Chain A
Amino acid sequence: MATENLDMDYSKYDFKDSTEMYVHLSKKGLTKDTVREISQMKEEPEWMLDFRLRAYDVFMKKPMPQWGGDLNKIDFQNIYYYAKASEKTEKNWDDVPDDVKNTFDKLGIPEAEKKFLAGVGAQYESEVVYHNLREDLKKQGVLFLDTDSALKEQPEIFKKYFGKIIPPEDNKFSALNSAVWSGGSFIYIPPGVKVDMPLQAYFRINAENIGQFERTLIIADEGSEVHYIEGCTAPVYSSESLHSAVVELVAHKDAKLRYTTIQNWSNDVYNLVTKRAYAYEGATVEWIDGNIGSKLTMKYPGIYLMGRKAYGETLSIAFAGKNQHQDTGAKMVHLAPDTTSKITSKSVSRANGRSTYRGLLRVRKGATNVKSTVRCDALLLDDTSKTDTYPYMEINQEDATVTHEATVGKIGDEQIFYLMSRGFTEEEALSLIVNGFMEPFTKELPMEYAVELNRLIKLEMDNSVG
């Protein structure tokens, strides 16, 4: 099949604003002073400054990871670590500055809220600018704040969980995030409360060379239920931006927690994210993870199954187009008996794009009667696209049942031929097959997101037939 290498049209996201409207923009580069400055700007308590400085030391000490994608081009001294667009977190849409509002209008945030969303937090550069939460949820004690406000307003819960699931020492990029974090979402669901609609946040990098380091912490207390969705986007710039988030989830006894991400960073963003969840007895944690954009994504959402009968699931798709490398995967650590997990990974590569699945499945000694399945499917659309699979399975317990399967293939000519005989063009047929391949993922998304995702895939697929 002849395929022309055409860039995806990112112009629809290309609505960058000038950086003049920033109330505060830190100096480029990372030093101890930058870290102090950020902490001071945010009027943080002493322990947080200590935490940041500790993380800074860890970051400086840790070597760059030598596996995965090529990280050598990141210039840590050429990045703005903190930018603040408006004076305070707005509660009312009308109070948000006009230029910020314009951007979000294009993203459709207020409409989305009007229609069905329970709460919306939008992060513009480093600070959260818009936040709202439905009244009835507020009354039940649900907390949905940006992480900075949570530190001030809910210091007790905050300190109890912050940095406990992913300590700065975990890896180089969790250390970086811990040193300079800013913004993100903080959610607390009290025992027994079931949030019936998804909570949503939107993240956006706007200026060139700005790093975004949001920090998300979600705690679902005993027997509660919540679904959180985040979307990410950035306009196209010629030099690389860096996004390095840390997401910590805690699902207490019998809680249900689902976290959905659709990542569509422009294809010059390094997306290096650490995500981990603790699932206690009987809890369910699901990561639904879509990776469409970015230059290089390295993201391996993890679930530690800490209590009996906990269940973890990771469902991810990756689409690697021209010059993209999606190095994604999952990590499941079975620490308790009777725990089960499931990993499904689907990837599509085209036009020299490279998709990598890298997974770790560990069953600790004493974790009896564990069941786990891993399934990876890769689709290669042309002869320059690449795919790798590196699953690691460490089984230390006799009675575990663990399987892994992976297949790589191309789209069958017969399938295309059949669809063309039904009146589709080759391009439509291809796009239809890819959508069908992705279906197990899209059907887990709320309708608006599924529609958006299908549209994005179609956009990526356009011009894929020469």
Chain B
Amino acid sequence: MSQLTLSSLDSSLIEEISSKRNEPNWLKEYRKNSLSVYHDLPAEVSPLYNKYTDARRMNPEQVSLSTNSDSSVPDFLAKRLDEIKNEISIVQIGSNIHSINIDDELKSKGLIISSLDDALQNNSELIQKTLEDSNSKEDKYTALNNAAFNSGIFVHVPQNLTIDKPIHLISCLSLDGISTISRNMIIAEKNTQASIVQELYAPKMSKQQAYLELLDTRVGENSKLDFTTLQIMDQSTVNFSTRRTHLAQDAKINWYLGLFGSMLSRYRLDYDLDGTGSAVNDAQVVFGNNDQSFDLNTIVNHNAQSTDGKVVEKSILKDTSKSLFKGMIRINEQAAHSNSFLSGRSILLSKGAKSDSIPGLEILTNDVKATHSASVAQMDDEQIFYLGTRCLSYSEAERIIVEGFLEPLSRTMSHQVRAWISNIIESKWANKELTINMDENLKAIVEVEETRYNENEEVEQHYKYR
């Protein structure tokens, strides 16, 4: 086993990864081609954003790569793993798949959750197609992942299957400091319904450890997918994620992204609304403190008629943290009757906090509606004063205002996600370790959240007893 850093990444490591996994020749070639693209591309490909990238904060000298890594479970994760041991789940520790749990019933119905390695054996055609659809040239880190992935998660939901319980994807970096380059794929065939909850963890390390993810998602005709990501990695780590989602006719995806941990989170989300009537609803919450940095880029491509896009990003920034909000709505010629909305809002809580926004529109046809907006503001002194007259201390008032700021967004989430997010935010205010373990505190929050915003239910009950 050889170990080297990202800065010295060359074809020999690629060769080693590939041969160790007995990969077919086409994949070996594919990795090599991607590697040369990676070396050629600048950190930011788009001329619109080349001044605005934080990708350089990742130090390639410190990110070590290897063909395998420590597979022992970090202590802080043990409790959480115990909690979900009966749920549908897959757990990734470092570059190893630690465990997979699927109901026998769902297994018999054809649900596949596996490591990418196994999928390469069993579903090679699907994998090959997904890899070939991925264009390494569009982003330097897409190329990196395609070249050097050393792990991966594969989820395949077969036609006409509705899964009631969420699928948990848990990824945690290994304790030996080796970075993970994960090539994840989620394929939901037509007429399916599923929800996925992804949790990202990392132990504390003295040097930069990275979780580099490339996630391709495909939602088939008339399917609905809910995807929630909660990133609570330690602030010594970096987290890059490049995600591309294809939506077929009448497919719908709800994407909730909560970014709280890591020193640098660089997320690039591409949505391709390829089928008529497809829709995306993307909600992003960012809470940064210390010198955390969040580099978010969301691109919604309307490629077919009557497609619907909605992206709402809200960031709360403390200390010297920084957020970059880049968004683009692109409505192509053939996408008449499309409707798109993009907004980025930031609250700056400290003098040193910083927020840049670049929301863009590229509209190539009329008969569409496209709106974007962005705002950056501080705490309103008058609101603080008002809450002060109601006997709230400054910090209490601050927290209530932030809660109100997030409220329109959290309203759209399930009560479980809402509870997790408010629990994490609470830990962040208190500078505690971020977890989503089911403890007393979280239980209390869940209880509150369960009954909140249930307007529909109220109406129904009302109707019943009338």
B361 contacts chain A at the CB level, 8 A cutoff: yes
B355 contacts chain A at the CB level, 8 A cutoff: yes
**Which chain B residues (12-66) contact chain A, with CB distance < 8 Å?**
47-48, 52
Q: Determine whether the beta carbon of A388 is less than 8 Å from that of B360.
A: yes
Cβ contacts under 8 Å, B373 to chain A: 403-406
Q: Mark A368-409, 1 if CB is under 8 A from B, else 0.
A: 000000000010111111111111111111111111111111
Q: Determine whether the beta carbon of B363 is less than 8 Å from that of A403.
A: no
Most buried by A among B336, B361, B368: B361
The docked-state distance in angstroms from the alpha carbon of A378 to that of B363 is 10
| 9-residue interface stretch from B375-383, B435-443, B454-462 | B375-383
SS class, residues of chain A in contact with chain B: strand
Q: Determine whether the beta carbon of B366 is less than 8 Å from that of A395.
A: no
B374 contacts chain A at the CB level, 8 A cutoff: yes
A116 contacts chain B at the CB level, 8 A cutoff: no
The smallest C-beta distance from A403 to any residue of chain B, in angstroms, reads 4
Cβ contacts under 8 Å, B363 to chain A: 378, 380, 386-388, 408
The docked-state distance in angstroms from the alpha carbon of A393 to that of B373 is 11
The smallest C-beta distance from B398 to any residue of chain A, in angstroms, reads 13
The smallest C-beta distance from A54 to any residue of chain B, in angstroms, reads 27
The docked-state distance in angstroms from the alpha carbon of A404 to that of B357 is 9
The smallest C-beta distance from A327 to any residue of chain B, in angstroms, reads 13
Question: Which single residue of chain A is at the shortest CB-CB distance from B340?
Answer: A408
Cβ contacts under 8 Å, B362 to chain A: 386-388
The docked-state distance in angstroms from the alpha carbon of A81 to that of B360 is 37
A66 contacts chain B at the CB level, 8 A cutoff: yes
Q: Determine whether the beta carbon of B374 is less than 8 Å from that of A404.
A: yes
Q: Determine whether the beta carbon of A395 is less than 8 Å from that of B354.
A: yes
A394 with B356, Cβ < 8 A, contacts A383-B365, A404-B373 known? yes
| 9-residue interface stretch from B86-94, B214-222, B242-250, B345-353 | B345-353
Q: Determine whether the beta carbon of B361 is less than 8 Å from that of A406.
A: yes
Q: Determine whether the beta carbon of B378 is less than 8 Å from that of A399.
A: yes
Q: Determine whether the beta carbon of A395 is less than 8 Å from that of B376.
A: yes
Question: Which single residue of chain A is at the shortest CB-CB distance from B352?
Answer: A398
Q: Determine whether the beta carbon of B377 is less than 8 Å from that of A393.
A: no
The smallest C-beta distance from B44 to any residue of chain A, in angstroms, reads 13
The docked-state distance in angstroms from the alpha carbon of A388 to that of B351 is 33
Question: Which single residue of chain A is at the shortest CB-CB distance from B381?
Answer: A399
The smallest C-beta distance from A360 to any residue of chain B, in angstroms, reads 10
A400 with B376, Cβ < 8 A, contacts A393-B357, A394-B356, A408-B361 known? yes
Tally of B interface residues using CB under 8 Å: 37
* One of B336, B346, B349 near A383 (C-beta < 8 A): B336
A67 contacts chain B at the CB level, 8 A cutoff: yes
The docked-state distance in angstroms from the alpha carbon of A448 to that of B360 is 36
The smallest C-beta distance from A328 to any residue of chain B, in angstroms, reads 15
A410 contacts chain B at the CB level, 8 A cutoff: yes
Q: Determine whether the beta carbon of B367 is less than 8 Å from that of A410.
A: yes
B364 contacts chain A at the CB level, 8 A cutoff: yes
Cβ contacts under 8 Å, A389 to chain B: 359-361, 372
The smallest C-beta distance from A436 to any residue of chain B, in angstroms, reads 18
Q: Determine whether the beta carbon of B356 is less than 8 Å from that of A401.
A: no
Cβ contacts under 8 Å, B360 to chain A: 388-391
Query: Which of the four size classes fits the interface of chain A?
Result: 20 to 34
Q: Mark B369-405, 1 if CB is under 8 A from A, else 0.
A: 1111111111000000000000000000000000000
The docked-state distance in angstroms from the alpha carbon of A383 to that of B355 is 36
The docked-state distance in angstroms from the alpha carbon of A385 to that of B364 is 6
Q: Determine whether the beta carbon of B378 is less than 8 Å from that of A398.
A: yes
Question: Which single residue of chain A is at the shortest CB-CB distance from B47?
Answer: A67
A402 with B375, Cβ < 8 A, contacts A395-B356, A408-B368 known? yes
Q: Determine whether the beta carbon of A404 is less than 8 Å from that of B359.
A: yes
Cβ contacts under 8 Å, A393 to chain B: 356-358, 374, 376
* One of A398, A399, A406 near B372 (C-beta < 8 A): A406
Question: Which single residue of chain A is at the shortest CB-CB distance from B326?
Answer: A392
Cβ contacts under 8 Å, B351 to chain A: 397-398
The docked-state distance in angstroms from the alpha carbon of A406 to that of B359 is 9
A392 with B358, Cβ < 8 A, contacts A380-B365, A383-B366 known? yes
Cβ contacts under 8 Å, A383 to chain B: 333, 336, 365-367
The docked-state distance in angstroms from the alpha carbon of A70 to that of B359 is 23
* One of A391, A397, A402, A409 near B358 (C-beta < 8 A): A391
The smallest C-beta distance from B3 to any residue of chain A, in angstroms, reads 40
The docked-state distance in angstroms from the alpha carbon of A400 to that of B374 is 13
Q: Determine whether the beta carbon of B370 is less than 8 Å from that of A400.
A: no
Question: Which single residue of chain B is at the shortest CB-CB distance from A385?
Answer: B366
Question: Which single residue of chain A is at the shortest CB-CB distance from B364?
Answer: A386
**Which chain A residues (98-132) contact chain B, with CB distance < 8 Å?**
none
Cβ contacts under 8 Å, A390 to chain B: 48, 358, 360
Cβ contacts under 8 Å, A382 to chain B: 366
Cβ contacts under 8 Å, A408 to chain B: 361, 363, 368-371
Q: Determine whether the beta carbon of A398 is less than 8 Å from that of B356.
A: no
Q: Determine whether the beta carbon of A392 is less than 8 Å from that of B356.
A: yes
The docked-state distance in angstroms from the alpha carbon of A67 to that of B376 is 26
Most buried by B among A388, A398, A406, A410: A398
The docked-state distance in angstroms from the alpha carbon of A24 to that of B371 is 53
Question: Which single residue of chain B is at the shortest CB-CB distance from A388?
Answer: B362
Most buried by B among A386, A387, A395, A403: A395
Cβ contacts under 8 Å, B52 to chain A: 392
Q: Determine whether the beta carbon of B371 is less than 8 Å from that of A406.
A: yes
Cβ contacts under 8 Å, A388 to chain B: 360-363
The docked-state distance in angstroms from the alpha carbon of A393 to that of B52 is 11
28 A-B contacts (beta carbon < 8 Å): A380-B363, A380-B365, A382-B366, A384-B333, A385-B366, A387-B363, A388-B362, A389-B359, A389-B360, A389-B361, A389-B372, A390-B48, A392-B52, A392-B358, A394-B356, A395-B354, A396-B354, A398-B351, A398-B353, A401-B375, A402-B374, A404-B374, A405-B372, A406-B361, A406-B372, A406-B373, A408-B363, A410-B367
Q: Which 10 A-B pairs have the closest CB atoms?
A: A380-B366, A389-B361, A410-B366, A403-B375, A408-B370, A405-B373, A404-B374, A393-B357, A398-B348, A399-B378
